[in-house]
Each structure stands twice: as structure tokens, then as C-alpha cells.
Amino acid sequence: MKLIKAFFNTKFNLLFLTLLLMISCSQEQEIKSEKDKANPIKRDLEQIKKTGTLRALTIYSSTTYFLYKGRPMGYEYELLERFADYLEVELELVVVKNMDDLFEKLNAGEGDIAAHGLTITSERKEEVAFTDYLYLTKQVLVQKKPDNWRTMHWNKLENSLIQDPMELLGDTVAVRKKSSYKERIANLSEELGGIIHVKELPGELATDKIIKKVVEGEIEYTVADANIASVMASYYPILDIGVPISFSQRISWATRKNSPDLLEATNNWLEEIKKKVDYNVIYNKYFKNKKNFKRRVKSDFYSLNNEEISPYDNLIKKHSKKLDWDWRFVTSLVYQESKFNPTNSSWANAQGLMQLMPATAKELGVTNRADPEQSIKGGLTYLKQIRENFQNVPDSVQRIKFTLAAYNCGLYHVIDAQRLAEKRGLNAQLWDENVEEMILELSSPKNYNDPVVKYGYVRGIEPYNYVDQIFERYQHYTQFIEV
């Protein structure tokens, strides 16, 4: 009996200790979260300029940031590119998978600015500083019409749907826990003098994905910004979005409260860009152009639909093994060369997915440059041959950059740039900030006539941008597509 009692005492003690540890860990996480809010990391415009990089926290959704036919797109993405240019820094996008963590990650220093369609509310102002608004919108109820709605009399159809927010009393609306939509439902309940129940959804679900759950009948009601709801309803006409539940609300981005200089710079930029036609063109592109939205949603190469970049993913995966390069990186190169158009031809008579010249194709045994497999196989064989000339470059990433530059402008122009770099005391085995600068110099007569330069003029901006753009696009691909 004593042994049994001792066993149960020991078991109880272990369970008790485990429970204490769980409570302790939970409290520590809460304390850390509160500490981040109270003492956000200090990194303002001066530090951003010093590092040369703006880190933007954003969300993966059908309007904010996504991949379509190999190209990164999105309302926030296009504006952020312009903002980074305005600040004269590079842009680094940090995708936040759980929207409920957005402000916490901002204050913890994982990004400098939260760039997503954020509704300004009093509660949120306690955590972050909002920029001037990007646009105004209303919140609307999103509900599904009956399946046979097209054949119903309009009066019957109206009676089957909620027509007034008052009718939501006692019913349930599904929204994210930390969304402005939840705040609005709470305020609406108070205004109406009753209770509208809320079903909390996980922060991983973007608004467009929640709306799709309404379409599929998984939830009955949700709330969305009118511009997002409108573009979704253009593809899913079974949606009804005709019941507003708020007045106009301001949508903006956010910075940490202790980043006043970045906030001021953002507002100054917004004031400037709002005066340009470009600003309205970008807004209309993602929120008003319903034809383009429908085309994206139907595409197999829309990252919200499939884990595919192009029609040639399988061919690229097959042949990229010979280089031992990430197939997504090779796909970025193929996009750079031809935008996935197998019949694409250049003014210099380069043709196909990998833009092979006639003489090069003949040497590689490529009989039809417009044939996708021949082009990819031939192009990657040629890249492997070029890479052999840079085996003395110790860093593998730098070796890739030299290989790409040589593929673009010719091996001997890159060797000329290496010679010029060595003459000027730069590192001839380093592309970044060394040989890349010399390839630019080879556009100038005083440089391409230098005695160490054997192959003359080259339009250096082309290989310079070529390398940068392939690497930048690859970073986007890694955000969306698993290996």
C-alpha cells in the first residue's frame, strides 16, 4: 500500500511540476509580449539608411503580395518598391503568416514598417503609430446567396438575405481575433443594444481566404473591407456584400511609436505619391480591375492557387540538377530571359526560353531553340561550361553571380571587368561592390580603352541589373513556393 501511495504521490508531483512549468512559460511569453509593447526596439530612419535596407512586414494575400506567372505582385508590394526607392534603400519583405502577430513582430524589431491594409482604431493606436491613410473604405457584411439565386424572384432573394445589421443580433459572425472587424462587431452590438456573437478565426487566414470560406459554406457571415469584398464578389457572384456595417474608415500602414523620423518620411512620401497618376493606377489595378483579378484566380500559376511558378517547372527541376542549383533560382533566370515565352526572340536573334544564340545552340546540339526542353537543357549545359571559368572564386554565391553575368554579356567582358578591378585594387574574385562596379565602368571610353581591357565596350548596366533582378525574384519565389 505504501508503495502504491508513494507511486501516486510521485506521479501527482510530476504532473504538478509540469503544470507549473507550463504556466510559467505562458506567463513569460505574456511578459515578453507586454515588454515588447512597452519597450519596442529602437530602429528609426537613421539606422535604416545606415544599413541600406527597409524591412517591411506584410501579408500574403490576393491584393497585398502574391506571385502570378513568375512575377511578384500586390498593392502593398508595388507601393513598397516605390517607397524604398524614395528612401534610396533596398527593400526586404518579411511575410507574417499570422496576422494577429503583426504589431508584436513590428515592436520586436522584425520589421521597420507594417505594410498591409490596416484600419486605424483607438485600440490599435496604443500599440503602434499609424501613417497618413492610403485610402478610405467601409466595412461590409459578406454573406452567401442561395445556390439557386439566379432563378429566384428578387423579392424572395432579398428576404433570404440579411438586409440590415439589426438582423445580426443573436447570430454569429466569423472574423479574426485581433482584427478591426472584431472591434467593429463589438461596437455594433453596443450600438444596437444586443449581442452579435463572434466566432474567432485563426490569424493565419487572410481576409480573402475567409471570404472564400463563405463561398464554400464553411461559415455563414464574415466582415471585410468593401474594396476587398468587391473584387472577391466579382469572381464569386454568389456573394452578397450590399450591407455596410460601418462609416468610412481610414486604411494605412504602421510604424513603431519610437520611429518618428520613419513615420514623417512615410507621410511625406505619401503626400507626394498621392499627387501622381501612378498612385491611382496601382489602386485600380488591384481593387477596381475585376477582369484581371478573374484572370489571376483562374490561373494555375497564381501562388494562392497552386505551388507552381510556370508551365515549365518540371522541366526546370529535371535539368537544374546538373548545376546543383535550386530549381526556383533557375526558374527566376528563365523568367529573366524570356518571361516563360518559348518563342520569344531578341533583336540580336537570341531565341527560346533561355535565349540561345544560333551559334551557341549549334555547339550545344540544340536543333530547335523554341522547344522548351531543348532550350532549358542547352542553356543549363552552357551555364555549367561558363561556371568552369570561375572555379577560382572561393564563395559559391559570388561564383553564381559571375556565371550569370557572363551568360548575359559574354565571358570575356566579365574577365575584362576582373582585370580592371585588379588594376584598381579591388577584389577580382568578388562580384558584389567590386567587379560589378567595373562592369559598369566598361561603358565608358576611358575604361574600355584601358590597356588591360581586351574586348572593349559592354553596356554594363545590363549584366549588373540582370544579376540583381534574378536574385531578387528568387527571394520572392522562396516566400511562396516550397522546394
Beta strands in 324-380 (DSSP E): none
Assign 308 to helix, strand or coil: coil
The full 3-state SS of 100-150, as one line of letters, equals: HHHHHHHHCCCCCEEEEEEECCHHHHCCCEECCCCEEECEEEEEECCCCHH
| Closest residue by Cα to residue 407 from 319, 318, 310, 330 | 330
- Rounded-to-integer distance, Cα 300 and Cα 63, Å: 17
What residues act catalytically?
A: 337
- Rounded-to-integer distance, Cα 396 and Cα 352, Å: 28
Q: 31: how many CB neighbours lie within 10 A of its CB?
A: 10
Does residue 173 contact residue 199 with C-beta atoms inside 8 Å? yes
Q: How much of the chain is helix, strand and coil, in % rounded to 5?
A: 55, 15, 30
Q: Specify the residue for cell string 580592371.
A: 420
Does residue 253 contact residue 131 with C-beta atoms inside 8 Å? yes
> Between the CA of residue 154 and those of 150, 222, 235, 259, 456, what are the distances in Å?
9, 23, 21, 53, 75
Q: Specify the residue for cell string 424572395.
A: 156
- Rounded-to-integer distance, Cα 117 and Cα 286, Å: 12
**Residue 199 main-chain phi, psi, to 5 deg:** -100, 115
